[in-house]
Amino acid sequence: MSENAKSVTIIMIEDDEGHARLIEKNIRRAGVNNEIVPFASGTEALTFLFGPDGSGDISAGRSLLILLDLNLPDMTGIEILEKVKANPHTRRTPVVVLTTTDDTREIQRCYDLGANVYITKPVNYEGFANAIRQLGLFFSVMQVPETA
């Protein structure tokens, strides 16, 4: 694992605690040891990403990777995606959409908004675990730019 990858913080926005836990476990099993910061609601995640003033200055200089679920209790993941890709400090941050929705239009919309990867959570657990582990392997070779 490169130096760069080591310093990357994984922001996991996922309201289902079980899913969050399983995702974390499987990423760890893939040998990824980066810090994972979980958020169970969109509001908390936005505060972390853009600060209390919403400017995004707080994220300047961070190396982030966002794991995003689309079905959140207080807002849709699409909104978060829009904000992340619209803010000059976070727009280069890779966003992995990880959700149960496999609607074609939804997937297209996410890519149109700048999502880097779109993964449908497989229903069977083996598939799910496998997908997450592969995602972890992908993380370990991925270069994440430092935010401006």
Partner 1 sequence: MSLSRSSFLLRTLILLLLGLVALASVVVTNVWLVQRTQDYVTEVTQLRRLRAAGVDLRSRLQDAETGQRGFLITDDPAYLQPYDDALANLGSYMDRLRKAAEVRPDLRPQVDQLALTIDARLGELRQTVDLARQGQRQAAIDIVREDRGKELMDQARTILQNIVSEAEDDLGRLGVAQGESANALWWVSVLGGLFVVFITLIGLLTILSYLRQLAATRQEVDALNVNLEERVRERTAELGRANEEIQRFAYIVTHDLRAPLVNIMGFTAELEQGVATLQSFVSYAGERVAGPDYEAAKLAAQEDLPEALGFIRSSTRKMDGLINAILKLSREGRRALKPERIELPGLIENAVAAIAHQVSEAEGEVALNVKVPALVGDRLSLEQIIGNLLDNAVKYRRRDIPLRIRVQAVARPGGLVNISIEDNGRGIDVRDHERVFELFRRSGQQDQPGEGIGLAHVRAMARNLGGDITLNSTFGEGSIFTLTVPAQLRATTRSMAA
Sign (positive or negative) of CA dihedral 40, 110, 60, 139:
positive
The Cα–Cα gap between 121 and 35 comes to 22
Binding string, residues 6-45; x marks residues near partner 1 by CB under 8 A:
----------x-xx--x--x--------------------
Specify the residue, 18 or 52, whose C-beta has the smaller distance to partner 1. Answer: 18
Specify the residue, 19 or 83, whose C-beta has the smaller distance to partner 1. Answer: 19
Task: Select the residue interacting with partner 1 from 129, 131, 137, 142 (CB under 8 A).
Answer: 129
Q: Does 146 bind partner 1 (CB under 8 A)?
A: no
Determine phi and psi for 120, rounding to 5 degrees.
-90, 130
Task: Select the residue interacting with partner 1 from 121, 133, 136, 139 (CB under 8 A).
Answer: 121
Element of type H or E holding 119: strand 117-120
Determine phi and psi for 86, rounding to 5 degrees.
-90, -20
Task: Select the residue interacting with partner 1 from 3, 53, 112, 126 (CB under 8 A).
Answer: 126
In the complex, least distance from residue 27 CB atom to partner 1, rounded to whole angstroms: 13
First to last CA, the chain: 23
The Cα–Cα gap between 31 and 139 comes to 10
Where does this chain bind partner 1 (CB under 8 A)? 16, 18-19, 22, 25, 71, 100-101, 103, 121, 123-126, 128-129
